[in-house]
């Protein structure tokens, strides 16, 4: 059996999230308001973004990737890879500092994380 690299796993997670997003968009086109009314609260709970003391885990990560696809710009492969490697190594994912309006929040010296806490 072949061994997956973290790069391949990150690509796989993004691909799965893209296909899930296609289904979500199809439902949204038939039932306007589905994403905001039904999907957003459930997906936020699954990603555990509202738990302020919660340290992101591998179980939360796929939901966080899908949640990141809900915006205009899907997550960057390099960022998903960094966050995945941090989770696999046991290091915490750095939480982004609040940014001024119009700026992207970024931890010190790093690109923004898909962690939305």
What percent of the chain is modeled with pLDDT above 90? Answer: 16
Q: Which domain holds residue 35?
A: 6-89
112 found inside a domain: no
Q: Cβ contacts of residue 53 below 8 Å, gap of 6+?
A: none
Q: Cβ contacts of residue 56 below 8 Å, gap of 6+?
A: 48, 64, 83, 87, 92, 93, 115, 117
What average pLDDT does the segment 38-43 reach?
Answer: 82
Say how many domains are in the chain. Answer: 1
102 found inside a domain: no
* pTM, 2 dp: 0.68
Is the pLDDT at 12 greater than 60? The verdict is yes
Higher pLDDT, residue 8 or 42 = 8
Q: In this predicted model, what pLDDT tens digit does every residue of 62-88 receive, in sequence order?
A: 888 888 888 788 888 998 998 899 888
What average pLDDT does the segment 50-63 reach?
Answer: 77
């Amino acid at each position: 059996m072949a061994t997956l690299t973290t790069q391949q796993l990150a690509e796989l997670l993004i691909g799965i999230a893209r296909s899930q997003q296609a289904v979500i968009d199809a439902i949204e086109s038939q039932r306007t308001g589905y994403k905001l009314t039904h999907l957003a609260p459930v997906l936020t709970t699954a990603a555990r973004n509202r738990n302020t003391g919660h340290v992101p885990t591998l179980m939360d990560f796929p939901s966080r990737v899908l949640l990141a696809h809900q915006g205009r710009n899907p997550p960057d492969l390099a960022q998903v890879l960094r966050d995945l490697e941090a989770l696999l190594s046991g290091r915490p994912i750095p939480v982004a500092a609040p940014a001024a309006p119009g700026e992207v929040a970024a931890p010190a010296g790093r690109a923004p994380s898909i962690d939305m806490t």
